Amino acid sequence: MSVLGYLNPDGSGGILFENLDQGTIVFFEAVLFFLSILGIGIPLETTSTVGYTSKIAFLTFFAWIVVTQQRDCVLRKSADGIEVYTCKMEDSKINSIQSSFTVSASLSALSEALFDLNNFHKWQYKIVNTEMLKRISKNEFIYRAELETPWPVSNRDLILHVKMSPTSTPQEYHFSAIGKPDFIPPREGFVRVPLSEAHWYIKVVDANKIQIKHSILIDPGGSIPAWLMNLSLAEGPYETFKNLRAYLGSAN
């Protein structure tokens, strides 16, 4: 089997495409080589596949945008300089969400907000309570969050592993929040979110301006139909990022 994948600076990665023929692999390698010339994509290493060798490319901030925008994405909300797209996924009935926006803040202020567990409820959509489960380092921990949902839907909780690290490109950073639903047993009165994966691609423009590209795929679990879930996907990210701006402004 031949695959095309990616590798993050922290060693994590994933598969973008599977079962590719050699002609398709050559095409992707040519595209990635061209991107690397422009400083957008950087080939990192080679790995053997059946019959020949193909490259696994590290996709940086801009290359990730190029790849993901090839999917069937629709602009769902554009207001206050925040754009939110929903994108169909081949292996999921629930659409992923991609957003872009800027904040007027320093990198240190943004980092503090992203790791200030006790104040997540002030800007993250529907978060009402959080608790630390495991501190790994200053910029990495696992926590539990409770989400308030409208009656008669049961409240949700989710377990997230968050960390932040620089990319190979100066002034660009990657913040991830990956669900770990089995890290602790379910809590009574809550439906555990079975799938949540979010990525923040952060680019420092200057001392007080940051560009952010955000992607998330989340399955709330329970019996909510996928078609109903997809109707309201844009609201959460938009409210979160609008609140984040206000929160960062009040902290200055």
In contact, 154 and 160? CB cutoff 8 Å = no
Q: What is the mean pLDDT of residues 111-126?
A: 95
For residues 130 and 17, membership in a common domain is answered with no
Higher model confidence: residue 53 or residue 7? 7
| Last residue in a domain, options 39, 67, 95 | 67
**Tens digits of residue pLDDT in 71-84:** 688 999 999 999 99
**Tens digits of residue pLDDT in 207-223:** 999 999 999 998 888 77
Closest CA relative to residue 67, chosen from 35, 43, 37, 44:
35
For residues 193 and 120, membership in a common domain is answered with yes
Q: Which long-range contacts (CB under 8 A, 24 or more apart) does 121-128 make?
A: 122/243, 122/247, 123/240, 123/243, 123/244, 123/246, 123/247, 124/240, 124/243, 125/235, 125/236, 125/237, 125/239, 125/240, 125/243, 126/236
Q: What is the mean pLDDT of residues 181-185?
A: 97
Q: What is the mean pLDDT of residues 76-105?
A: 90
For residues 52 and 84, membership in a common domain is answered with no
- Write out the E strands in 37-139: 41-48, 53-59, 73-79, 82-89, 92-103, 127-137
What are the backbone angles phi and psi of residue 190, rounded to the nearest 5°?
-130, 145
For residues 134 and 220, membership in a common domain is answered with yes
Q: What is the mean pLDDT of residues 111-138?
A: 96
In the chain, the percentage of residues whose pLDDT exceeds 70 is 67
What pLDDT does residue 24 have?
A: 57
| Last residue in a domain, options 52, 67, 82 | 67
What pLDDT does residue 154 have?
A: 84
User: What's the CA dihedral at 43, 49, 51, 54 to 10 degrees?
Assistant: -10
Domain coverage including residue 51:
3-67
pLDDT higher than 70, residue 134: yes
For residues 62 and 177, membership in a common domain is answered with no
Question: What is the domain-level CATH number for residue 91?
Answer: 3.30.530.20
Ranked by mean pLDDT, which of 31-35, 74-78, 98-102 comes out on top?
Answer: 98-102
Query: Which amino acid does the sequence have at 97?
Result: I
Q: What does pTM read for this prediction?
A: 0.70
For residues 59 and 80, membership in a common domain is answered with no
For residues 37 and 84, membership in a common domain is answered with no
Q: What is the mean pLDDT of residues 93-109?
A: 93
For residues 140 and 190, membership in a common domain is answered with yes
Tokens 């596949």, residue located: 49
> Domain total for the chain?
2
**Tens digits of residue pLDDT in 225-248:** 665 565 566 888 999 999 999 999
d(CA 63, CA 32) in angstroms, rounded, equals 9
| Last residue in a domain, options 17, 34, 67 | 67
Query: Which amino acid does the sequence have at 43?
Result: P
Tokens 């592993």, residue located: 161
What pLDDT does residue 228 have?
A: 57
Q: Which long-range contacts (CB under 8 A, 24 or more apart) does 147-154 make?
A: 147/193, 153/222, 153/224, 154/189, 154/190, 154/191, 154/222
For residues 100 and 223, membership in a common domain is answered with yes
Residues in the chain: 252
For residues 82 and 97, membership in a common domain is answered with yes
In contact, 196 and 157? CB cutoff 8 Å = no
d(CA 18, CA 5) in angstroms, rounded, equals 9
CA 239 to chain centre: 16
Alpha helices in 116-234 (DSSP H): 226-231
For residues 91 and 139, membership in a common domain is answered with yes
For residues 42 and 129, membership in a common domain is answered with no
